[in-house]
Structure 1
Amino acid sequence: MRNQRRNFLAGLLCLNILLAACNEDFLDQNRETELSGATFFKTESDIKQGVNGAYRSLRDMGLFSYWVFGEMRSDNTTFQYNPPQRGQENREFVDVFLVNSTNTLIQDYWRENYSGIARCNDIITYAPAVVMPDESRNQSIGEAKFLRAFHYFNLVRQFGGVPLRLSVTQTPSDAKSAGRATVEEVYQQIISDLEDAAAKLPPVYGASDKGRATKGAALALLGKVYLTQKNYPAALLALRQVTSLGYRILPNYASVFSPENKNNDESVFEIQYLGAVPELASNFIYQFAPFNSGSVVTGDRNTTLSYNAGWNIPTQDLIEAYEPGDLRKDVSLKEGFTDPEAGFVNVPYINKYNHGIVDIGSTDDNFPVIRYADVLLMIAECLNEQGFVANGEAFTLLNEIRVRAGLQPKTSGNVNPSLRIQNQQEFRDAIFQERRVELAFENQRWYDLVRSGRAVAVMTAHGREEIPKQPIPSNSYMVTENNLLLPIPQREVNLDNLTQNPM
């Protein structure tokens, strides 16, 4: 079927070329070596193509780098050690804190984010001069600024201060940056982009444009940025605005992630995939399934799992973090699979993105970036940080998430000690726990560990649990404040004369 589609697309391309050849202007074109943003972006259609290209960068990153650095570095997941296949040690090194500046995955992650930024810069630079309706222009610039802020937020949290590239690169001399901006300067740019995006973007789209960045997405990400900076009043102001835009918590946790329910009322922003088109499909379950599970987990008898499977494996610590009766556990993960010959095999795997295949090697699952549940938990955290109020609004928001999960509310005077919260620190711990299980495998845990100041202690303890379980180097998980940041890729250090992070 895939070959048939490819043949169809190839035939369609040939037809388009033949039709273009019939036009007398066919030969009156810029040479390919002279094609640039200045010569390409002439019409509203060109700008919209550029915006779609910026989303494509996000989609490519979402298939791998996004979760490797956002989830696998945390205590939520690890990897399934694969003795016969030792060609993916770069991935293992990310997980066990042995990564160095020549690790190709770090270089790829850096490149993917800056590639997305470059595409956004094209839109921001050229859209103002294109003749098009103001509403369409504002939307395009708003989408580009949201995506640029998203990429810089990834970079600053993983690398610290990074080069700020805010203009189009038109000549080789433009490729060299002014060096690493400070962390504060990067955050100032992110905030500026998100404020402008929130002002320009619509709150909702029609059915054909669902999934694009909205006003709510910009405000929610802005709130998360301020929360990361511990600017709780500003975070609360941004997040409060999201609550007035029509989002809601769905009654059923499982339905939030169903491909049949994409971009639902709880979704603020998610990375879009289209399973019916192989080039636009997702493939998360093929990477998250145990490598020895055959087709039991994926349901795809035509795809053999190997070294590309067995990643982002849920840890026992996470499994035990779920309270008895928590409905989210079975939706989010499975504790093993049943082999037709060997019986039950105790290798956990992520189930949240396992809704069956659409075609060989292709699934239709989107990847959530921000959900309304996350927004409510962030508001509760901001309220608590500005002053603990027994059984106040922060409790109401926390318990809205818990009740949906089938759990009892937590209160300040509860007779059950496990449900009792008596002070600000206990509420911090309750929010931290709730975020872990509510947002598991959505690339929030690592960033929560770092911004809460718990990363070194938690990851050191995690290492003590993991080292005896599989033959990994004895110096794994030596976590310090220095290696909470990734090293700058050595290629960038050499070519752009950047200072390296302490290691």
Structure 2
Amino acid sequence: MIKNLRNVSLLLAFALSFVACNKDRLQVDPVNQVLSSNYYQTELHVAEALIGAYDPVGWTMAFGQWISPVMFGEIRSDNANAGGDPSNNDQPGWQEFDDFRETNINTLIHPLYRRSYIGINRVNSLLSNTDTSNPEMASDAVQVYLAEAKFLRAFYHFEVFRHFGPIPVVTEELAPDAVNLERNTLSEVMQQIINDCEAAAAVLPTLPASGQEGRATKGAALALMGKAYLYWADLSGDNAEKFDAAASALQEVVDLGIYELVDDMGSLYTQGSRNTTEAVFEIQHNPLYQSDWGWFEGIDGNGIIQLCGIRGLCAEHPTYEAGWGFMAVTEGLYNHFLDDDHYRRDVTIASEATLEQDMIDAGLSCDPIIDATQNNPIDYTGYFQVKYQNFKAFAGTNVNGGNEHLTKAQNTHYIRYADVLLMLAEALHRGSGDDGSAMAHIDALRERAAGPGDNAGEFRTASQLMADEGFSLLDVIWYERRAEFACEGDRWTDLVRSGRAESGLFVGDGDKEGNFSEDNLWLPIALEETVLASGLTSYPDASLFN
């Protein structure tokens, strides 16, 4: 994941995980006990193992399936549908996931689950076997490495939690016979995430060292802690104390004084834009991996760029090349943007009309959509996400012979400073009730959303929206979250944690309509896991949320 340490031996990464074997299971695969117990003898060994622990963060493909967090957070929601080719059966796992037809043998859910626990196991191997009483391990650098590992353990637990609900908390290296895992409670899961974030934030640097972009920082740990507290507050019944705790952590991020909103929101999504002043934690992708269609497990490139590009796009288009049409934007998302929010809308979504205008502006003549029916006709709306778009400039940027479809170097936005501000606004409003401060944070985003430059007096403030549109302040927050982070992977989990995921969202929405029920709030843990661990249930019991 991290560019200047990519030459670490792959042998170590494989030895410290259970990814290398088709018999790979959370509960049963042995870690090489001799290697893990004897390897960690120097600072360099810990640094190398840490790179292996970071690696799954950036996977957009694993175990033969696309597993981007962006797709998981959007395709299940009212923002997007699976898309793909006209058969309505392109990537069947994604079609089932989109339409709420998934079961515990769906092809996506096990790779998603395994990805996080592979990361957790690599972290636990590092933490369990690094002897800090050894003089070789007494350096400040080792303490930072251990703090990074704790951040990663929090990250992986949070990622698997927000799709599967309360899941097994694992804080020790798994033994070969560890088959008795079961789900922990909501409180146990969230407390572990928060404990790891707190421990990490106390040690991590404020800024990464030069050339180490993408590494965990104090701000990243505090922001993840704030996000975890928001989920905990919502899922435990609008707990004001938890909202206050979220606000405290997120205010610490603001008080660091190192993050700011970029002037032009559109610049966040242009080819080559990476690690801006708005990046609190950004998943790194690079074109260095020798990925091809014979070996593309755990690719480091952003594979969804090709997967979610515009299907059937005219080859002459000046900026984009055609992709495979996944993550098809809904008309409902396009219509969500208010009349004075078109700049932010157009940063997020293209339409057939805007693609045609691109051709006219370039002095070219062809129908930009060669054949709209190349897209899944049930999901096709004529609208396309452009935050993770297939830029022609990506072509040929792979440097080690990898396939250009698998080695796109556009990073994934995981937590932007905009998210910190909106989460803080929400926590302040729903906790202490400091609505004045909450609206000030919202207004900062709304001014930027109006376009580059000074927009003072040129946008409607939160209070004006409330007056003009009849919104409550919480309505404004929900409006802003959907508009600001559309097609970035937070929509579905925002709906679930806030209790707003309900069947009315999908009226008129292709195959989704009529399929959703409360049983679909959480994904089932795969059959391959539950048959091995008799105490591990497919779905979380309601008692786990008490």
Q: Residue 438 of structure 1 corresponds to which residue in structure 2?
A: 484
Structure 1 residue 429: Cα displacement: 0.5
Question: What is aligned with 2:348?
Answer: 332
Q: Which runs of 5+ in 1 are unaligned?
A: 1-8, 14-31
What letter is aligned with 1:180? R
Structure 2 counterpart of 1:380, from 420, 425, 440: 425
Q: Which structure has the higher relative contact order (CA within 8 Å, separation 6+)?
A: 2
Residues 411 and 292 (structure 1 numbering): CA distance in 2 closer, same or farther, change over 3 Å?
closer
Once the two structures are superposed, the pairs formed by residues 53-132 of structure 1 within 5 Å of their partners are: 53-61=52-60, 64-80=67-83, 82-84=85-87, 86-129=89-132, 131-132=136-137
Displacement of 1:101: 0.4
In percent, how many aligned pairs have the same letter? 32
User: Deviations for 1:40-87, whole angstroms, at most 9, x for unmatched residues?
Assistant: 222211211111111111111476342232221111111225234735
Opposite residue 155 of structure 2, the aligned amino acid is: F
Q: CA offsets per residue over residues 350-381 of structure 1, 9 Å max, x none?
A: 21123431423232200011011111111111
Choose between structure 1 and 2: higher helix proportion. Answer: 1
The residue identity in structure 2 corresponding to 1:45 is L
- 8 Å CA contact 2:462–2:473 kept in 1: the answer is no
Query: Over alpha carbons, which structure has the higher Rg?
Result: 1
Please give the alpha-carbon distance, in whole angstroms, between the structure 2 residues aligned to 1:451 and 1:105: 22
Q: What secondary structure, in the 3-state scheme, does the structure 1 residue paired with 2:173 have?
A: coil
Matches within 5 A, 1:193-212: 193-212=196-215
Q: Which residue identity lines up with residue 520 of structure 2 in the other structure?
A: N
Name the SS of the counterpart of 1:465 in structure 2.
coil
Task: Within 5 Å, give how 1:159-198 maps onto structure 2.
Answer: 159-170=164-175, 172-173=176-177, 175-198=178-201
Is it true that 1:494 corresponds to 2:510 in the alignment? no
Secondary structure of the residue aligned to 1:166 is coil
With over 3 angstroms needed to count, the CA separation of the structure-2 counterparts of 1:296 and 1:41, relative to structure 1, is farther
Instruction: Give the C-alpha shift of residue 33 in structure 1.
Output: 7.1
Report what 2:449 is aligned to.
405
1:465-476 map, 5 Å: 465-467=508-510, 472=511
Could you tell me which residue of structure 2 aligns to residue 284 of structure 1? 304
Kept after mapping to 2: 8 A contact 1:222/1:238? yes
Distance in 1 separating the partners of 2:308 and 2:316: 13
Could you tell me which of 269, 272, 280 is aligned with 1:268? 280
Measured in 1, the distance between the counterparts of 2:491 and 2:69 equals 13
Structure 2 letter corresponding to 1:55 = Y
Q: How does 1:422-437 map to 2 (within 5 A)?
A: 426-437=472-483
Query: Could you tell me which residue of structure 2 aligns to residue 311 of structure 1?
Result: 326
Question: Which secondary structure state, in structure 2, belongs to the residue aligned with residue 370 of structure 1?
Answer: strand
1:255-310 Cα distance to aligned partner (Å, 9 max, x none):
23345442111110010011355543223321112332364679687xx85xxx22
Q: Residue 143 of structure 1 corresponds to which residue in structure 2?
A: 148
Partners of 2:165 and 2:227 in 1: how far apart?
Answer: 17
Is 1:463 the counterpart of 2:506 in the alignment? Answer: yes
Q: CA deviation at 1:465?
A: 1.7
Distance 1:223 1:300, change over 3 A: closer
Match of 1:40 in 2: 39
| Partner Cα separation in structure 1 for residue 489 and residue 86 of structure 2 | 27
Deviates more, 1:380-389 or 1:88-97: 380-389
- Structure 1 residues 271 and 222, CA gap change in structure 2 (3 angstroms): same
Q: Is the 8 A contact 1:156 1:183 kept in 2?
A: no
Query: What is the distance in 1 between the residues matched to 2:385 and 2:465?
Result: 34
Which residue is equivalent to 1:255?
Answer: 267
Per the TM alignment, residue 411 of structure 1 is displaced from its structure 2 partner at its CA by 4.7
Report the count of equivalent residues.
453
8 A contact 1:268–1:371 mirrored in 2: yes
Partner amino acid for 1:386?
A: G
Letter in 2 for 1:252: D
**Equivalent residue number for residue 438 of structure 2:** 394
Partners of 1:312 and 1:350 within 8 A in 2:
yes
Supply the distance in 2 between the matched residues of 1:181 and 1:234 (Cα, whole angstroms): 22
Alpha-carbon deviations, 1:164-211, whole Å to 9, x = none? 2211124x21x3243221222111111111111111211112221121
Secondary structure at the aligned position of 2:442 is classed as helix
TM-score by length of 2: 0.77
Contact 2:198–2:225 (CA under 8 A) maintained in structure 1:
yes
With over 3 angstroms needed to count, the CA separation of the structure-2 counterparts of 1:241 and 1:416, relative to structure 1, is closer
CA shift at 1:388, angstroms?
A: 4.8
Distance 1:277 1:288 in 2: 20
CA distance in 2, matches of 1:365, 1:438: 19
